[in-house]
Amino acid sequence: MNGPPIRLPPPMLAAAPGHPHPASSQQLPSSYFGGHLVAQLGPQAAQAAPSLEELQIVVQAVHAIGRTACAQWPHAKTALFGSQANGLALPGSDVDIVILGVSDTLQQAGTGFTMAVRKQLVRMLRELLTLLRYAGLVKGRAQIVEAKIPIIKCRIIIGNSHLATDISLGTANGVAAVQYIGWQLSKLPAIRPLTLAIKALLRELGLNEVFSGGLSSYSVVNMVMAQLSAEGMALANQMAPGAASLPEICYTAGSPDPVQQNVAWRLQQILGGHAQQDVACDLGNVLRNFLRNFGSEFNTRTRAVSVYFGGFIAKRREWVNDKKPDLFAIEDPQEPGKDIAGGSFQVHAIKDVFRQALHELASANGAGEGPPDQAWARIQAEGQDRSMPPESSELSAILDLEAAVGRSSRANQARKEFEAKARTPPGSRNAMVFKIQRKIRVALPMRGRPRPEGTPTAARTGKKHKGKRPPASGKRHQQVPGSSGKKKRRLSDRAAAGSL
């Protein structure tokens, strides 16, 4: 998507201590610096925070799956990980659940399991899916995705709730990442609203699932942290000793339900506190810089994301896919050397989305164009006070806010449509149909029309006709209109019949 040149707002300049801002003794228009986006991103992130009832349903789902898993593997541990566990989930997001201790041969997944281990996992997941159906936890459509890390994609039924759930086996690194992300959120609150905005944008376009080529939530949060690091925010590589951790939602044989319900309450309090924390940066400008960086400036062939090494580094040779050199490379901060974005093959579609979103933000932020005096004049001409934010929503220019954080029936229906997009990668269906049609056109015999010059015939190629003998030279066949193709009449016979 190549739009017109985009004029971005200039970076915010800090005034010297004890001196007013050079443009005015009052604060400049919020839209001029993208501050209006700050006023929108904050409340939207707070609205996306899970309620206690929602977390309790998730806890019940973990326990229900855990009890079923322990019937098959008595020493199994079922744990919640991913965005639902660390507070970076949008309403309607998938619940990520992993079952550990199912086999002594399974090790930490890393970049994925070997082919032999994948086959073993797929067989075990089929057995688990059968047990879940037998227990009444899964009804209707369910899918086993045979990716590098095989998963069950299904909807878990808890009372009247149907939770979209991804179940995997043996991937212990996901559980460890929960504490790392939770600690970073407590130290740098700006991560949460930015990550939720990017995730909502990708979800609307069906680019939020790795198995269909999109970006995972873990990849997005690492990209956001790298951008914040580039903006001057300090990130820590490892959790400090004794740092407060998020409560773990898990199930092992004999786990008491009341204790886990108390865990849900403690997690809701912590996540709610993260949502209410003050942000010490201009979220609007950071969001714009993120979209501009990863949409246009970031060279995926030579650069990589690495929070562990400060944000951005040169792309390592082992992360380069010779067949797909444009893929994102994002290093896992907990396992240096591991690329977590190797499966996100829709890199060009993702970059196009970011570029278009930046263009839409610039178009919606009309008051932010031009020098500060002109921006003031436009705001005053519209009858708005300097301290009053504009009524138009810049964030709504790139997001369906109701679908992003709403919990209404319309929002749920919109999210189902987004989920359908994620299951069918953009352009894949059209490309597949085109290939099929092309094969059909090549295979169809050229009945009733002259053969193009230079096309090899059976006589020229030496190939023998199968079935019926080919027509004699000079006596071409023509299909009778309305026939099924079996009744044919020679042109000479038709001419003779017309002469009678």
In a domain, 9, yes or no: no
pLDDT given for residue 9 in this prediction:
31
pLDDT grade, residue 449 (50/70/90)?
very low
Phi/psi of residue 381, nearest 5 degrees? -65, -30
- The closest of 160, 246, 164, 177 to 217, measured between CA atoms, is 177
Give per-residue pLDDT as tens, 171-217.
888 888 888 898 888 888 889 999 999 999 999 988 998 888 999 99
Higher pLDDT, 40 or 398: 398
User: In which domain, by residue range, is 58 found?
Assistant: 45-429
Q: What is the reported pLDDT for 260?
A: 61
Q: What percent of the chain has pLDDT over 90?
A: 35
Greater confidence (106 vs 172) lies with 172
Q: Kindly report which listed range (72-81, 216-225, 369-378) carries the lowest average pLDDT score.
A: 369-378
What is the per-residue pLDDT across 46-88, written as a single tens digit (0 to 9) for each?
Answer: 888 888 888 889 999 999 999 999 999 999 999 999 999 888 9
Distance CA 111, CA 125 (A): 19
In this predicted model, what pLDDT tens digit does every residue of 273-331 receive, in sequence order?
A: 655 566 667 888 899 999 999 999 999 999 999 998 989 999 999 999 999 999 999 99
Beta strands in 267-407 (DSSP E): 303-306, 311-314
CATH code where residue 247 lies: 1.10.1410.10
Q: What's the pLDDT at 295? A: 95
- What's the average model confidence in pLDDT over 124-144? 94
Instruction: Supply the pTM of this predicted model.
Output: 0.71
Tell me the mean pLDDT in the region 246-258. Answer: 78
Asked if the structure places residue 230 within a domain, the reply is yes
pLDDT at 241: 52
Note whether residue 499 is domain-resident.
Answer: no
Does 165 map to a domain? yes
d(CA 99, CA 68) in angstroms, rounded, equals 11
Number of structural domains the chain divides into: 1
Q: Give the type of residue at 43.
A: P
Work out the pLDDT band at 454, boundaries 50, 70, 90.
low
For residue 263, what are its two tokens?
């865990």
Which alpha helices (H) appear in 298-342, and where do they start and end? none
| pLDDT for residue 496 is more than 70 | no
Contact yes or no for 31/365 (Cβ under 8 A): yes
pLDDT at 334 over 60: yes
Q: Is 164 part of any domain?
A: yes
Output the six-digit token pair for 482: 């309305």
Say which range, 62-66, 264-268, 421-425, 466-470, has the weakest mean pLDDT.
Answer: 466-470
What is the pLDDT, as a whole number, of residue 55?
Answer: 87
Residue 314, strand partner residues: 303
Domain presence at residue 500: no
Q: DSSP string of 213-278?
A: T---HHHHHHHHHHHHHHTT----SSPPTT---PPP-EE-TT--HHHHHHHHHHHHHHHHHHHHSP
Contact between 285 and 11 (Cβ < 8 Å): yes
Residue 161, pLDDT score: 92
Tens digits of residue pLDDT in 83-102: 998 889 999 999 999 999 88
Q: Is residue 258 part of a domain?
A: yes
Tell me the pLDDT tens digit for each residue of 383-394.
544 333 344 467
Q: Is 397 part of a structural domain of the chain?
A: yes
Confidence of residue 478 (pLDDT cuts 50, 70, 90): low
Tell me which H or E stretch contains 411. helix 409-423
Q: Is 222 in contact with 340 (CB distance < 8 Å)?
A: yes
